């Protein structure tokens, strides 16, 4: 099955949904507010658009996309006040793959308008036009040179497909027993333990686990820096890391389930998902008695060269 058909967060607003299990992502987004502010000030140092066009690539279906948009509009409002400029009109493109739950996203628009009123310092009326732009950001989504600001969070590590050549001699999987094609992080090491435990009990086929690879790649800061420099179209302003710790095993298990269940269900079957994430939570609980689980986040700010 094609990645684009199954790659989306857990839809709806239920207990296991992404909308109710994306607090970790919200914490990370809050930590980059200063960088957003600097990016907006940098934009306005060169031009003062009357119509500000911005896009969120990989917006997903939870509350974070619109909360971040409200922050961006408030920051633009502050910048315009400091420069004695009129607040621009906003055209916002919320992008994700066609399988994304855009309905849940747009149902939260009323709370977006309320949050915006609490963030803005001026009394200026906001003209904001929001639309969905379904499609892969690995393909052309917009007309040339039409966007002023692009924001993306927890999205660009996703690949358009699982890379080829992940087998050794005789077709043996290089990541045997794991679902991460790179050296697994702690979170995915624990996942491999839970999966292999279910293999030993005959609940999941060993061949399926060995053959499966998640369509993501966790690039290092050095890899990202080299890629940007080699491509040559952008000026890199900031590249830093932020380490965030998971508070407990339940938040970790629920958070990963909200993100990865649709992909894993397509590979291993919907029927084993409850058991898989129950075992994952137990495995994480035992591990977190003595160790911490944290996620390394890359924070990148860059602008297109003239």
Residue 301: which H helix or E strand, with range?
strand 294-304
User: How confident is the model at residue 170, as a pLDDT?
Assistant: 52
SS3 call for 128: strand
Sheet holding 51-57, edge to edge: 128-134, 89-96, 51-57, 149-151
Each residue's pLDDT expressed in tens, for the chain with a length of 306 residues: 576 666 777 777 778 787 778 887 788 778 888 888 988 988 888 888 889 999 999 988 878 888 888 889 989 988 988 888 888 999 999 999 988 889 888 888 888 887 777 766 666 678 889 999 999 988 999 998 899 999 988 888 887 776 665 554 554 445 555 555 455 577 778 888 888 888 888 888 888 887 777 888 888 899 999 999 999 999 999 898 888 888 788 888 888 888 888 888 888 888 888 888 888 888 888 888 888 888 888 889 998 887
User: How confident is the model at residue 181, as a pLDDT?
Assistant: 46
Which segments of 9-95 does DSSP mark as H helices, in order? 23-30, 33-46, 64-82
Residues shown for the chain? 306
Angle between helices 64-82 and 23-30 (to 10 degrees): 20
Q: How far is CA 159 from the centre of its chain?
A: 12
SS3 call for 21: coil
SS3 call for 102: helix
User: How confident is the model at residue 3, as a pLDDT?
Assistant: 67
Residues 6+ apart with CB under 8 A from 51: 88, 89, 90, 91
293 in Cβ contact with 39 (< 8 Å): no
* DSSP strand pairing (89-96 vs 149-151): unpaired
What distance in Å separates the CA atoms of residue 267 and residue 121, rounded to the nearest whole number?
49
Among the listed residues 57, 54, 66, the one whose alpha carbon sits nearest the alpha carbon of residue 22: 66
């Amino acid at each position: 099955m094609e990645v684009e058909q199954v790659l989306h967060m857990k839809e709806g607003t239920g207990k296991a949904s992404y909308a109710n299990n994306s607090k970790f992502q919200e914490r990370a987004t809050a930590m980059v507010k200063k960088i957003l502010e600097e990016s907006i000030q940098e934009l306005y140092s060169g031009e003062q658009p009357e119509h500000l066009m911005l896009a969120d690539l990989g917006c997903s279906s939870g509350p974070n996309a619109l909360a971040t948009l409200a922050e961006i509009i408030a920051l633009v409002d502050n910048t315009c006040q400091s420069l004695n400029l009129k607040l621009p009109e906003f055209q916002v493109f919320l992008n994700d793959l066609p399988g994304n739950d855009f309905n849940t996203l747009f149902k939260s628009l009323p709370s977006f308008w309320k949050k915006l009123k609490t963030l803005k310092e001026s009394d200026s009326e906001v003209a904001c036009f929001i639309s969905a732009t379904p499609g892969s950001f690995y393909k052309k989504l917009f007309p040339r040179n039409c966007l002023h600001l692009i924001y993306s969070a927890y999205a660009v590590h996703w690949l358009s497909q699982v890379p080829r050549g992940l087998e050794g001699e005789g077709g043996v999987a290089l990541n045997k027993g794991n679902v991460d094609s790179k050296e697994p992080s702690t979170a995915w090491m624990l996942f491999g333990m839970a999966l292999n435990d279910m293999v030993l009990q005959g609940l999941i086929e060993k061949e399926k686990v060995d053959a499966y690879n998640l369509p993501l790649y966790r690039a290092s800061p050095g890899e990202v820096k080299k890629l940007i420099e080699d491509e040559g179209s952008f000026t890199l302003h900031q590249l830093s890391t932020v380490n965030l710790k998971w508070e407990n095993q339940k938040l970790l298990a629920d958070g990963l389930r909200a993100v990865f269940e649709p992909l894993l269900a397509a590979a291993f079957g919907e029927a084993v998902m409850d058991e898989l994430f129950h075992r994952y939570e137990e495995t994480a609980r035992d591990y977190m008695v003595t160790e911490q689980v944290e996620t390394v986040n890359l924070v990148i700010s860059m602008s297109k060269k003239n």
